[in-house]
Amino acid sequence: MNASPSQPHPAEWPETRELRDTEERDLPAGRHASHKERLMAQIHDDIRDTTAPAAPARQRGPFLRRRILLPVAACALAGAIVGGVALYGDDGGDGTTPLATGPALTTPVGTADAKGAARLLGRISLAAADASGPTVRDGQFLYIASKVASTYPKTVDDKTTVVSQELHDRQVWQSLDGKDGWLIEAGETGDQGITLAGEHPVSSAYDNLVKLPTDADALLKKISQDADKIRDKEVPRDQAAFVALGDLLTESYPPAKLTAAIYQAAAKIPGVVTVDDAVDATGRHGVAVARLNEQDGQRTEWIFDKKSLEFLGERNVQVKPDTSGVFKVGTVTFTSAITQRAVVDGNKRMPSREG
């Protein structure tokens, strides 16, 4: 992940086996899960299909949507609540382990080029249109496996430091209607995972995705309108739309025509640039399509394989000074890599077991 030889790749970070001192344990055992679920419920309530009721508690990993919902000061609090165990060192007695223990993940800030974004997105769109989308039938589940890590501010005894999680596995199962599913995330949910079942479907559910327009202009209009209803007004409207489009690419499995339309729509957003070298969470180098959030100085990067133009993952990089003084330029505040997408025959079923 780290292009800088002076900084370790996340997979090389030393594992911290010991629990933190008791003064860091601000949350009682087991409280982190309930905090996380409440925050995720708010996030998915706010970004939902306009014809659907509120969405259930479900973690969007890790939590890009809060950058639409919340101003910078609140983001740090949201990170602390969601991180729970990772930040406060309480294993909750359920087998979870502290994750946010490593040094802050950093990377050289790549050069952004505004001129080539539309052309690159056009090529990516054509490649996506030619790719095979998922073939699904009633009763099946979508399976998405990824590697993720986030960076958080941590305050102990009035001293704030920036710490990053170890790179870790995340597995999500989601029913086609989004009303059932399962999440297993190392160090966050315990070995057995947690249910994602809820009364109402999440916005990224497959049944919702197939209803979205595949015309780029119509798609951008809908996404922008939906994001505009719930974004914090400090977050620029175009940035909210870019992040919302990116959310359709990650923990979901959109049809090929919709994927192509997402890239075409992104090309129409002012401020979208290319970055000639970006690295996903597993260390794969690629080219990125990105946009800078002028409000917090962070650039959201969608990373693609340079040859196949396949979507690899995404990351957020601090590319301008953080007005809050928390993150230094070059800090990677979030990184992910999609390692597998599949259609499986049931909740918690692994793709290798499918016939």
pLDDT, tens only, 25-38 = 333 323 333 333 33
3-state secondary structure (DSSP) of residue 214: coil
Q: What is the pLDDT of residue 353?
A: 53
Rounded to two decimals, the pTM is: 0.75
| Geometric angle at alpha carbon 240, from 237 and 244, rounded to 5° | 140
Tens digit of each residue's pLDDT (9 = 90 or more) over 129-185:
998 788 999 999 999 999 999 998 888 888 888 999 999 999 999 999 999 999 999
Q: How far is 221 from 208, CA to CA, in rounded Å?
A: 16
Cα Rg, the chain, nearest whole Å: 19
Give the mean pLDDT of the chain: 76
Determine the straight-line distance between the first and last CA of the chain, rounded to whole angstroms: 34
* 8 A C-beta contact, residue 354 and residue 344: yes
Tens digit of each residue's pLDDT (9 = 90 or more) over 38-95:
333 333 333 333 333 333 323 333 323 334 433 333 333 333 333 332 333 333 334 3
Q: What is the pLDDT of residue 101?
A: 63
Q: How far is 116 from 134, CA to CA, in rounded Å?
A: 30
| Geometric angle at alpha carbon 37, from 196 and 331, rounded to 5° | 110
Tens digit of each residue's pLDDT (9 = 90 or more) over 254-270:
999 999 999 999 999 99
Q: How far is 265 from 223, CA to CA, in rounded Å?
A: 10
